[in-house]
Amino acid sequence: MLPWAAAALLLALSSIGFQLGRRRAFVSVGGQTRQLHSLPGYHGLFVGLGAFLPGAVALLVGIFVVRSMPSDTSRDVIWAAIAAATFAAAAIGLAWAQRHISAQFRARNAVERAVMVLLIVCSLLSILTTVGIVLSLVFEALRFFAKVSPIEFLFGLQWSPQMAIRADQVGQTGAFGAVPVFAGTLLITVIAMVVAVPIGLMAAIYLSDYAGKRVRNWAKPLIEILAGIPTVVYGFFAALTVAPLVRGAGAAIGLDVASESALAAGLVMGVMIIPFISSLSDDVMNAVPQSLRDGAYALGATKSETIRQVVVPAALPGIMGGVLLAVSRAIGETMIVVMAAGLTARLTANPLEAVTTVTVQIVTLLVGDQEFDSPKTLAAFALGLVLFVVTLILNIVALHIVKKYREQYE
């Protein structure tokens, strides 16, 4: 309870500081209250922030100290000291801010500077988080590549990361050729995009240029519901409904379809990412100026010709952004692949066979009690690093496309 008590105490002092600072913008003359400053709220914010910021820093430092202590240490006294330190820091900050404020004080400028500093800190926090994630992947991947050749990992054709126990198993240190894993990821992503791009783009065209207002108001939210369904539900749907249908349809025409196939996973994944394409494309097409459409109509173009030759080219940067966002979403999907495509790392282009993806293998390698010094566990970080590089390249390509066509049509 002590951490929450310290936080509540900090908020109470900040609220008190806000009221005290706001009152300094008023003065009583002849029994009447006169406002000496046009922005009393900024005076209150200045004092409130003066109390909140030092107290928040003290509380965060205290939490960090407690987290770094051994678990068997009695923490009640330490939390009491942290609460007292938080109160003291907030009280000192409140007193300092209250002393420096007056009716003539330009509190707005000080508050704006404080807000700017806060925004800079939040931006740096996001950047540092990204840097930390990348560095953690790089360092662990380097440990993996010190034990397994990068050439074998990037160009090997057999993926069997379990460590061998007997001499007759696949290698004494496993087989870490990641080509089958990335081939499975690419196969399922291509199937998903073949389903999602045409349907999503045509849905966006219909909603933006053909559908009436009433139809659009209920059709677009219904399509976007697909993005809110948990992926485990899609996985159950793929495993229990789509996979048997695919297997039955294949058997009806004489094809041998595995019980878990890339086709079943890709079909369901394509349905899942339709809203990413349709919603973004619809918004971008609606943002195309009506004057462009009117100009095409004035030249004698039909509605379909206007959409093909004017609207879609003008909205192409946003459409490509939505498509690449959907690609990234498909690459990172796990549950649907686990439940509908299996765990078999197989180098094949046949969508009727079982395959696996990078994210599935990362989860598989890190499940359970694992030694982080073994190549089997470190392989997950190598896969994650390569996946990060691929996603980064996709983002760079998207930015290049957006820049190129935006210059052309703006």
pLDDT digits (tens, 9 = 90+) for 151-179: 888 888 888 876 544 455 444 556 788 88
| Cross-strand bridge partners of residue 28 | 33
| pLDDT, tens only, 19-53 | 877 776 666 555 555 555 556 777 788 888 888 88
CA distances (Å), origin 305, targets 124, 203, 301, 316: 47, 17, 6, 16
**pLDDT(67) > 80:** no
> Token pair for residue 326?
């959907």
pLDDT digits (tens, 9 = 90+) for 263-313: 888 999 999 999 888 888 888 888 888 888 888 889 888 888 898 888 888
Partner residues linked to 108 by β-bridges:
none
Q: What is the pTM of this model?
A: 0.72
Query: SS3 for 55?
Result: helix
Q: Can you say whether residue 304 is alpha, beta or left, with left for phi > 0 and alpha for psi between -120 and 50 degrees?
A: alpha
- Give 109-112's long-range contacts (Cβ < 8 A, gap of 24+): 110/46, 111/42, 111/45, 111/46, 111/49
The yes-or-no verdict on residue 239 having pLDDT over 70 is yes
Six token digits for residue 43? 């005076």
Rg (the chain; Cα; Å): 30
Which H or E element spans position 111? Answer: helix 107-147
Residues paired with 175 in a beta bridge: 160
Where do we find the tokens 């806000």?
A: 18
Read off φ and ψ for residue 2, nearest 5 degrees. Answer: -60, -40
160 compared with 197, residue with greater pLDDT = 197
d(CA 56, CA 364) in angstroms, rounded, equals 40
Q: If pLDDT is split at 50, 70 and 90, which confidence band does 348 have?
A: confident
